[in-house]
Amino acid sequence: MQTHEIRRRFLDHFVKAGHTEVPSASLILADPNLLFVNAGMVPFVPYFLGQQTPPFPRATSVQKCVRTLDIEEVGKTTRHNTFFQMAGNFSFGDYFKEEAIAFAWSLLTGSVADGGYGIDPEKLWATVYLDDDEAYSIWHDRVGLPAARIQRRGMKDNYWSMGIPGPCGPCSEIFYDRGPEYGVEGGPEADEDRYIEIWNLVFMQNERGGGTSKDDYEILGPLPKKNIDTGMGVERVAFLLQGVENVYETDLLRPVIDKAAELTGAAYGVKHDDDVRFRVIADHARTAAMLIVDGVNPGNDGRGYVLRRLLRRIVRSARLLGAERPTMAAIMTVVRDTMAPSYPELATDFSRIETVAVGEEAAFLKTLGTGSKLFEGAVEAVKAEGRTVLGGTEAFTLHDTYGFPIDLTLEMASEAGLSVDEDGFRSLMAEQRQRAKDDARARKHAHADLTVYKELLDRGPTEFTGFTELVSEANVLAVITGGERLHAASAGQDVELILDRSPLYAEAGGQIADIGSITGQGLRIKVNDVQKIAKQLWVHKVTVLEGQVVEGDSVLVQVDPEWRKGATQGHSGTHLVHAALRQVLGPNAVQAGSLNKPGYLRFDFSWPSALTEQQKQDIEAVTNEAVASNFPVNTFVTDLDKAKKMGAMALFGENYGDEVRVVEIGGPFSMELCGGTHVQHSSHVGTVTLLGEQSVGSGFRRVEAYVGLDSYRHLAKERALLAGLSSTLKVPSEEVPGRVESLLERLKVAEKELEKTRAANVAAAAGDIAAKAQRVGDVLVVAERAPRGATGNTLRTLASDVRGRLGGDAAVVLLLGDSDGKVPFVVATTDAARAKGIKAGDLVSSFGPAIGGRGGGKPDMAQGQGSDASGIDTALDGFRNRLRELAG
| Minimum CB distance to ligand SER smaller for 40 or for 853 | 40
Whole-angstrom Cα Rg for the chain? 38
Q: Which residue is nearest to ligand SER, using beta carbons?
A: 231
- From the CB of 88, what's the least distance to ligand SER, in Å? 5
Distances (CA, A) of 738 to 242, 724, 734, 747: 76, 16, 8, 14
Burial of 640 (0-12, 13-18, 19+ CB in 10 A): middle
Contact 200, 224 (CB under 8 A): no
Torsion-angle region of residue 53: left (phi > 0), alpha (psi -120 to 50) or beta?
A: beta
- From the CB of 367, what's the least distance to ligand SER, in Å? 39
Per CB under 6 A, 59 contacts ligand SER: no
Phi, psi of 733 (to 5 degrees): -60, -35
- From the CB of 200, what's the least distance to ligand SER, in Å? 4
| Minimum CB distance to ligand SER smaller for 28 or for 584 | 28
Q: Count other C-beta atoms under 10 Å from residue 321's C-beta.
A: 22
Q: What is the dihedral of CA 135, 141, 144, 147, to 10 degrees?
A: 70
Q: Among the candidate windows 35-43, 417-425, 683-691, 717-725, which touches ligand SER by CB under 6 A? A: 35-43
Q: Among the candidate windows 33-41, 427-435, 557-565, 782-790, which touches ligand SER by CB under 6 A? A: 33-41
Per CB under 6 A, 231 contacts ligand SER: yes
d(CA 76, CA 68): 15
| Minimum CB distance to ligand SER smaller for 41 or for 253 | 41
| Minimum CB distance to ligand SER smaller for 13 or for 582 | 13
Q: Among the candidate windows 229-237, 407-415, 577-585, 742-750, which touches ligand SER by CB under 6 A? A: 229-237
Per CB under 6 A, 202 contacts ligand SER: yes
Q: Is the sign of the CA dihedral 730, 736, 738, 744 positive or negative?
A: positive
Q: Among the candidate windows 36-44, 95-103, 149-157, 368-376, which touches ligand SER by CB under 6 A? A: 36-44
- From the CB of 230, what's the least distance to ligand SER, in Å? 5
- From the CB of 173, what's the least distance to ligand SER, in Å? 9
Q: Between residue 498 and residue 527, which ones bind ligand SER under the rule CB under 6 A?
A: none
| Minimum CB distance to ligand SER smaller for 163 or for 255 | 163
| Minimum CB distance to ligand SER smaller for 104 or for 292 | 104
What is the distance, to the nearest Å, from the Cα of residue 490 to the centroid of all Cα atoms in its chain?
42
The mark string for 393-422 relative to ligand SER (x by CB under 6 A, - otherwise) is ------------------------------
Among 51, 200, 569, 594, binds ligand SER (CB under 6 A): 200
d(CA 624, CA 617): 11
Q: Between residue 104 and residue 163, which ones bind ligand SER under the rule CB under 6 A?
A: 160
Among 26, 85, 151, 230, binds ligand SER (CB under 6 A): 230
Q: Is the sign of the CA dihedral 704, 708, 709, 712 positive or negative?
A: positive
Secondary structure (DSSP) of 378-401: HHHHHHHTT--EE-HHHHHHHHHT
For residue 124, the surrounding DSSP H or E stretch is: strand 124-129
Q: Count other C-beta atoms under 10 Å from residue 431's C-beta.
A: 8
Per CB under 6 A, 811 contacts ligand SER: no
Per CB under 6 A, 229 contacts ligand SER: yes
Among 54, 75, 88, 853, binds ligand SER (CB under 6 A): 88
- From the CB of 247, what's the least distance to ligand SER, in Å? 17
| Minimum CB distance to ligand SER smaller for 214 or for 796 | 214
Task: Specify which residues 775 forms β-bridges with.
Answer: 780
Q: Is the sign of the CA dihedral 374, 377, 383, 385 positive or negative?
A: negative
Q: Between residue 37 and residue 56, which ones bind ligand SER under the rule CB under 6 A?
A: 39-41
Residue whose C-alpha is closest to residue 834's, from 821, 847, 846, 843: 843
| Minimum CB distance to ligand SER smaller for 40 or for 403 | 40
- From the CB of 87, what's the least distance to ligand SER, in Å? 9
Q: Between residue 155 and residue 174, which ones bind ligand SER under the rule CB under 6 A?
A: 160
Question: Considering CB under 6 A, how many residues would be counted as binding ligand SER?
Answer: 10
Helix (H, G, I), strand (E, B) or coil at 319: helix
d(CA 612, CA 567): 29
Contact 646, 729 (CB under 8 A): no
Distances (CA, A) of 127 to 159, 230, 402, 522, 860: 11, 14, 49, 66, 90
| Minimum CB distance to ligand SER smaller for 160 or for 631 | 160
| Minimum CB distance to ligand SER smaller for 11 or for 448 | 11
Which parts of this chain interact with ligand SER (CB under 6 A)? 39-41, 88, 160, 200, 202, 229-231
